[in-house]
C-alpha cells in the first residue's frame, strides 16, 4: 500500500469513527444556535430599551387622545404608526440588534464556543440574523398592536377595519425590519463603527434622501415601505364640506395630482420584491464575508 493510499484509508477510518457518540443532524445544531440567540436577546437589556422606545407612540397616542379628542384617529394612526415608527423607531431597533449580531459574541469572547463547533461561519451569521429578525419583528408587532389599541379604543373609526389595518401595518413594519436588519448586519461586518455609520445612514439616507421627490429615494428602504403602505391602506382625513384628503400622498411627496395611480412608481409586488431580494442579497453577502472572517479573541496576554 502506498503512503498516500494508507493516509486516505486512515482518514476514512477516522471519519467513520470520529467520536463515539451518535451524531445528530446539522439541523439540531442550527436549531440550538437559533434558540441560543433568542435566549441571549431575552437576557439582554436591549429589549427593555426597545420596549421603552416603542412605548413612545403608545404614550403619544394616549396623550393626544386625552388632550385633543377632535384629532381624527386615522390621522393619528398615520403620524404615529406610519411616520414616526418606520422613520425613527424601526431603523433604531434594527441597528441596535443587527450591530451586535456577531460583535456581541466577539466582545464577550463567547464566539469561541460557536466557531469551535461543526457549524460553518456563514450559518452562524445567518442563524443569528434569523433569530434577530424573530425578536425584532415580535417586538414591533406587539407594540404596533398596542399603538393601534391606544389610537382606536373608544375612538370613532369611521367604519375602518382596524384589526386589518393593524395587521397590515405590522406586516409592513416587519418587512422594513427585515430589510434594515439585513442591511445593518452587513454594515456591521464592514465597519467597526457600525452605530455611528448606522445613525448617519438613518439620518441622511432614510431621513433626508427618502423625503426628496427624486429618483434617489429608490435606494432607500423607507421609500418602498411607504409605497407599500400607500398602495394597501388609505389615509383619508375628513375636511370641511364633506371633502376628504389623502394625507399620505402629501407627506410622502407622491404627486397624486398629475399621477393619481402612482404609475411612475413601482407597483406593490415590485416594492415587496425589492425589499425581500435586497435583504436576501445583503444576507448572502454578509454570510459570505463571515465565512472567510477570523474571529480573533483577545487573550489576557494580549490585553
Partner 1 sequence: MHTQVLDQVAGPAEVTPVVEFHGVSKWYGNVIGLNKLTLRIRPGVTGLLGPNGAGKSTLLQLATGQLRPSQGSVRVLGRTVWNNARLNRSIGLCPEQDAFYEWMTGWEFVLTCVRLSGLGRRDAREAAARTIDAVGMTQHRGRAIRGYSKGMRQRIKLAQALVHEPEVVFLDEPLTGTDPVARRDLSEIIRRLGSEGKSVLVSSHVLHEVESLTPNIVLLNRGRLVAEGHVRQIRDLIDKHPHHIVLVCDDYRRLASRVLAWEDVEGVRVLASEKGLMVETRAPDAFYGRLPALSLEDGLAITAVYSDDDNLEAVFKYLVTK
Give the nearer residue to partner 1 in terms of CB position, either 78 or 122.
Answer: 122
> Residues near 172 by Cβ (< 8 Å), separated by ≥ 6?
86, 225, 228, 229, 232
Determine, following the binding rule CB under 8 A, whether residue 23 of this chain makes contact with partner 1: yes
Q: Report the residue from 5, 19, 67, 257 that binds partner 1 according to the rule CB under 8 A.
A: 19
Distance CA 47, CA 45 (A): 6
Burial 211-224 (b: 16+ CB within 10 A, else e): beeeeebeebbbbb
Determine, following the binding rule CB under 8 A, whether residue 299 of this chain makes contact with partner 1: yes
Task: Give least dist CB 139 to partner 1, A.
Answer: 20
Q: Are 101 and 122 in contact (CB under 8 A)?
A: no
> How is residue 214 annotated by DSSP?
S
Q: Report the residue from 108, 234, 255, 259 that binds partner 1 according to the rule CB under 8 A.
A: 108
Q: Report the residue from 116, 241, 261, 264 that binds partner 1 according to the rule CB under 8 A.
A: 116
> Residues near 217 by Cβ (< 8 Å), separated by ≥ 6?
209, 210, 211, 223
Determine, following the binding rule CB under 8 A, whether residue 243 of this chain makes contact with partner 1: no
| Range in contact with partner 1 (rule: CB under 8 A) among 46-54, 112-120, 208-216, 263-271 | 112-120
Angle at 165 between CA 159 and CA 168, to 5 degrees: 155
Determine, following the binding rule CB under 8 A, whether residue 9 of this chain makes contact with partner 1: no
Determine, following the binding rule CB under 8 A, whether residue 117 of this chain makes contact with partner 1: yes
Determine, following the binding rule CB under 8 A, whether residue 16 of this chain makes contact with partner 1: no
Q: Report the residue from 56, 62, 115, 209 that binds partner 1 according to the rule CB under 8 A.
A: 115
**Interface residues for partner 1 in 132-151 (CB under 8 A)?**
none
Q: Report the residue from 9, 26, 190, 259 that binds partner 1 according to the rule CB under 8 A.
A: 26
Q: What H or E segment, with its residue span, contains residue 91?
A: helix 90-98
Angle at 143 between CA 138 and CA 147, to 5 degrees: 150
Task: Count how many residues are written for the chain.
Answer: 303
Interface residue list for partner 1 (CB under 8 A): 7, 10-11, 14, 18-26, 28-29, 32-33, 36, 40, 43, 108-110, 112-121, 291-292, 294-302
Amino acid at each position: 500500500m502506498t503512503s498516500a493510499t494508507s493516509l486516505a484509508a486512515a482518514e476514512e477510518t477516522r471519519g467513520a469513527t470520529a467520536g463515539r457518540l451518535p451524531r445528530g443532524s446539522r439541523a439540531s445544531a442550527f436549531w440550538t444556535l437559533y434558540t441560543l440567540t433568542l435566549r441571549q436577546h431575552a437576557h439582554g437589556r436591549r429589549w427593555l430599551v426597545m420596549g421603552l422606545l416603542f412605548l413612545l407612540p403608545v404614550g403619544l397616542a394616549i396623550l393626544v387622545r386625552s388632550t385633543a379628542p377632535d384629532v381624527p384617529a386615522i390621522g393619528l394612526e398615520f403620524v404615529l404608526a406610519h411616520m414616526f415608527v418606520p422613520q425613527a423607531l424601526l431603523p433604531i431597533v434594527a441597528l441596535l440588534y443587527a450591530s451586535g449580531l456577531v460583535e456581541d459574541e466577539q466582545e464577550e469572547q463567547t464566539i469561541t464556543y460557536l466557531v469551535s463547533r461543526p457549524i460553518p461561519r456563514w450559518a452562524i451569521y445567518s442563524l443569528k440574523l434569523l433569530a434577530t429578525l424573530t425578536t425584532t419583528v415580535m417586538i414591533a408587532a406587539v407594540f404596533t398592536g398596542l399603538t393601534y389599541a391606544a389610537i382606536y379604543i373608544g375612538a370613532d373609526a369611521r367604519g375602518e377595519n382596524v384589526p386589518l389595518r393593524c395587521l397590515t401595518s405590522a406586516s409592513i413594519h416587519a418587512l422594513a425590519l427585515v430589510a434594515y436588519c439585513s442591511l445593518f448586519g452587513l454594515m456591521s461586518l464592514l465597519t467597526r463603527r457600525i452605530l455611528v455609520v448606522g445613525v448617519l445612514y438613518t439620518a441622511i439616507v432614510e431621513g433626508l434622501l427618502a423625503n426628496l421627490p427624486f429618483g434617489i429615494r429608490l435606494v432607500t428602504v423607507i421609500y418602498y415601505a411607504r409605497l407599500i403602505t400607500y398602495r394597501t391602506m388609505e389615509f383619508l382625513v375628513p375636511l370641511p364640506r364633506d371633502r376628504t384628503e389623502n394625507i399620505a400622498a402629501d407627506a410622502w411627496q407622491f404627486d397624486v395630482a398629475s399621477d393619481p395611480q402612482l404609475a411612475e412608481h413601482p407597483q406593490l409586488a415590485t416594492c415587496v420584491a425589492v425589499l425581500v431580494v435586497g435583504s436576501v442579497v445583503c444576507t448572502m453577502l454578509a454570510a459570505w464575508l463571515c465565512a472567510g472572517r477570523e474571529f480573533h479573541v483577545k487573550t489576557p496576554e494580549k490585553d
